[in-house]
Structure 1
Amino acid sequence: MKYAYLVLLAAMTGLAGCATQSSLDVVRSDVDAVKTRLFSVEKDLGGVRDESKQGIGSIEKEYKSDVTAVRKLSADIQASMDSLRTDIQALNGKADDLAIATKKPTDDLTRYREDADKRMLTLEDRVMKLQTAIDELGKKMGDLASLPKKEEVVTPESFYTKGLELFKAGDMPGARDIFTKFLDKYPQHDLAANAQYWIGETFYSEKGYEPAILAYQEVIKQYPTKDKVPAAMLKQAMSFKAIKDAKSARYVLKKLVEGYPKSDEAKKAKELLKEIK
């Protein structure tokens, strides 16, 4: 701009020598106009420069702010990606653990099946052996069954025991029948007094007190030295009491106490005497 201004002044100087005064005034007037316009242009250019500086500063400020925001966003994205990578690694680890855990029951099941198969084979073998043994035992039992049976030997003791079993089972008529037959077959046996006593007991259990009294009397009369006599006397007295014969009951109880004072039946007789008036 300054270079153009100098050129213009030089031209005007050259023209000044040959130009007239009026022409010089015109030229001066044009120069002033040019100066005015030049000044205006420079002023406008200065405003444009200021505006440009302000615009550039604002743009630069916004740019820096955007760069900062972008950097922050990039950092956040990077942090998110790192966290995502960590989560993916954790998930991969869990997936591996799950795969191992899933495989282990399968292996255990396989081993269990193999063990069960072995046990099954062992059991089948044992069953076959047992079946063979059962078949052999059945054959032997069949052979034994085909043999002629030996006659069962009946002893006085076994016969007496059968009567007791029937008594305990509650079969009083059956027991009485056995004991009666026992006395018919073995009247002098050591168990004869007992058999006679149990005949009395079968009647007493059926509340047949009068035949019971007679049965107990046979014990007292026929076997006076046997241990069953005190028991027979006590039960005879109880039978008299049951049929309301207090006098006979007291008489028998007193004889029991006198004859067998140290027996357990004598103690019971004393207590019973207190009840009977």
Structure 2
Amino acid sequence: MGRAIAGAALLAVLVSGCATRGSVREVQADLTAVRSELQALRRLHQDTAREVAQAAAELRAIEDRLRELTAGTSAAGAEVSRLRSQLVAAEDAIRKLQAELAARPTPPPPPAPEPAPREPAVRAPAADALFQTALATFRAREHGQAVLEFLEFLARYPKHALAASAQYWIGEAYFLQRDYRQALVEYQRVFEHPGADGVAPDALLRIGLCYDRLREPERAAETWQRLLREHPSSEAAAEARRLLKTRRAAARP
């Protein structure tokens, strides 16, 4: 079409007899401009067509998504209705069960449990014999075995009047083996057992000696001072006074 227009224009110029080189060039330039405009219009038309097609596709996708959402909403509504029906049925069943339970007679209370059998009384002769056996083992310098026997005594007779004494001799066994840290632990356990008052002075004296052997003189002195306050007239207190006096004299320059 562009070529036809250009030819017609050129023919008109020639027929009029006024054609010059300059006028021909002007016509050709005009024709070139027309062709460019036509090409631009074609590209614009193509771009517009593509945009319209893309918009149509997006619109169809939106419509499909809308249909899916509508279907999902309907399904959710149906599920809610189903659950509501189940809840109503469950509430009806609970009310029915409560009514049945209320109509039943109250069962009689269960019988009182039988009293627990009393523990047999500890046989004092057996406990004393076990204690004396452990003490004899200790005096035979079998300190490890003596610890085991005193522990057996405490396990079998934890409330016996000699329990604190048994614990004290366990501490003595470790002390004589120079295991002062374990001896300290065992002496401190004396006060957890019945009958601790009878061996408390000796236990405090030994606790102080353990601290002294472990090079903790301040704690040793504190323990001996406690012994003097709580048991001032005991033989252990007299020994504690002597030890404190000796330590003070040694500390003087």
Q: TM-score, normalised by structure 1?
A: 0.43
Q: TM-score, normalised by structure 2?
A: 0.47
Structure number with greater CO (CA < 8 Å, separation at least 6) is 2
Structure exhibiting the larger radius of gyration computed from Cα positions: 1
Higher helix share: 1
